Amino acid sequence: MSGLARRYRLLLVDLDGVVWRGRRVLRENVEWLRRARLAGARIVYVTNNSTRSRRVYAERLSAIMGYRVAPEDVVTSGYAVARLLSEKAGSVRVVVVGEEGLVEELVAAGHVVLPVGDGARCPVDYVVVGLDRGLTYSKLKTAHLAITRCGARLAASNTDTTIPVEEGSLPGAGSILAALETSTGVRAELVAGKPEPYMYRLAMEMAGVGPGEALAIGDRCDTDIEAAKRAGIDSVLVLTGVAGERGDRCDATYTVRTLAELDGILGDAEATHRES
Ligand SMILES: [Mg+2]
């Protein structure tokens, strides 16, 4: 464990499939993360889920981890797309197809979130799409008109086509985005979520840590591990989530059944033994 903290100062940790699976907390992984923090590693939680804000995730994580997790220790794709918009365009007027967490982050970043009624009131700078479990035709209509009549550009929190649920999978933000791209013929020009490397880069910048000192931990090859590759950082595929269930494998730096296995891999069994 101490060897890990020496080698990697920053852990970029995915949530669903790593810290929890739906409502079930993944205890073995959580215990390992607690010990990594005690050994001196900084942890930033990085999730493609935009439905909740950093504030809400920080509260849930504090209860699970047993110490205070601050909103600054969390990067959601909602927060990331809000930041990305600020960087590229300053404060903008947006129509949102997404949930509360995305709206909260956009407002917190200083953007103007326009009401979604039964039409678009120009000017609209961007339509921002995230997972929206309250999606209606009226929202799609407003977003479509914002693009076709107001000339709004298209941005997305992430492009996951599906989300994993107990029943298997359900449509994700990428499927909602596809509906708007299809109806308008306009492609998203800004995408914040993994596999884009932006969220990892943002977290590294916030922590003041370079790529050589960061380790990404996730349960999916197509998002977590791919984003790590694009950001040029080492990665852990942990088989407690999607890849484990599907039997997916990819060239992550380390592949483990649970995070507890990392102690042995990083050649630190003795230190781990002493701690336990
Ligand atoms: Mg995950």
Write down the pLDDT at residue 269. 40
Gap from CA of 146 to ligand 1 centroid (Å): 32
Catalytic residue among 14, 73, 224, 263: 14
pLDDT of the residue at 119: 83
Active site (annotated) includes residue 16: yes
- 81 closest CA partner among 6, 157, 7, 137: 157
Nearest in space to 136 (alpha carbons), one of 97, 102, 186: 97
CA of 249 to the centre of ligand 1 (A): 14
Q: How far apart are CA 45 and CA 242, in angstroms?
A: 18
Per-residue pLDDT of the chain (276 residues; tens, 9 = 90+): 667 767 899 999 999 999 999 889 999 999 999 999 999 999 999 999 999 999 999 999 999 999 999 999 999 999 999 999 999 999 999 999 999 999 999 999 999 999 997 788 999 999 999 999 999 999 999 999 999 999 999 999 999 999 988 788 899 999 999 999 999 999 999 999 999 999 999 999 999 999 999 999 999 999 999 999 999 999 999 999 999 999 999 999 999 999 999 988 765 544 444 443
48 Cα–ligand 1 center, Å? 8
DSSP type of residue 256: E
Asked whether 38 and 66 are in contact (CB, 8 A), the reply is no
Distance, CA of 74 to CA of 80 (rounded, Å): 10
Cα(222) to ligand 1 centroid in Å equals 10
Q: Which amino acid is at 188?
A: A
Alpha-carbon gap, residue 93 to 123, rounded angstroms: 7
Q: pTM of the entire structure?
A: 0.93
pLDDT computed for residue 155 by the predictor? 98
φ, ψ of residue 194 to 5 degrees: the values are -60, 140
Q: Which of 16, 73, 132, 234 is catalytic?
A: 16
Does 14 participate in catalysis according to the annotation? yes
Residue 200 CA to residue 274 CA, distance in Å, equals 32
pLDDT at site 7: 87
**Residue (of 23, 56, 58) closest to 43 by Cα position:** 58
Within the chain, residue ranges assigned H as helices are 2-7, 27-38, 54-65, 77-89, 100-108, 137-148, 173-184, 198-207, 226-231, 242-246, 262-265, 269-275
Residue 167 CA to ligand 1 center (angstroms) comes to 16
Ligand 1 midpoint to CA 170 (Å): 15
Q: Which domains does the chain have, with CATH numbers?
A: 2-48+194-275 (3.40.50.1000), 89-191 (3.40.50.1000)
Cα of 176 vs centre of ligand 1, distance in Å, is 19
Closest Cα partner for 174 from 109, 223, 125? 223
Return d(Cα 118, Cα 167) in angstroms, integer.
33
Identify residue 221 by its one-letter amino acid code. Answer: C
139 CA → ligand 1 middle, Å = 27
